[in-house]
Structure 1
């Protein structure tokens, strides 16, 4: 006949096993969702755009049909990234060297305007916020991600 101490130990072991079998899959799922939720950085070429009336952006912005001040933190994205306007008014993170800034998508930089598929066309405000040196103004390498 088994002792009460051994029976209690076996019961405790069964409870621990059941708790582990229930909690472990939940923890794995949580970990995977946290990892997949991390934004991945996309390599891009940042160009400069004038979003004000009469600027090189040409027409008003695609997202709202308006012109925007160049000191605002805004961008136009290449056609694939613009994604038929699905990114309109959403913010992206732009990373340059050891700095980053959030800018709102207000326009598309289409191939009909000479944009390649890797362009983040940014306002002067974005360039200033990232402290890009004057010699690099026009075009520089950055990475970006959704916020």
Structure 2
């Protein structure tokens, strides 16, 4: 009887862990693209502009960080008038060393975001200094598959 109880608890615990691990960050909504006023969409570094009427998926969450979470690193200028849109921030706190920033997946297609669409929820923007420090050849700068984990 004691073995059966222990086995049942183990199975229940195992399924709970599997369920927690399988939880994903699902889309939270959509926004409709608007046409940017002339000269307002910043196309620096091949950035996209919102398309009038197109629906864009938004997220209010980031993927769960595990030992091996996939993401994409993109290049961003972080300079005034650059392709970054609004000021950089990480978890709602401004940063002075503007080198890495989680791309906004909650909003877009407005003046604050240079009329660019919201990002997928696994995009991190990095400055040229980060790309250089990573040793990525300049010809490959732009978008890079990466993995991140908690230290």
Structure 1-normalised TM-score?
A: 0.44
More strand by share: 1
> Looking at CA atoms only, which structure, 1 or 2, has the larger radius of gyration?
1
Structure 2-normalised TM-score?
A: 0.43
More helix by share: 1
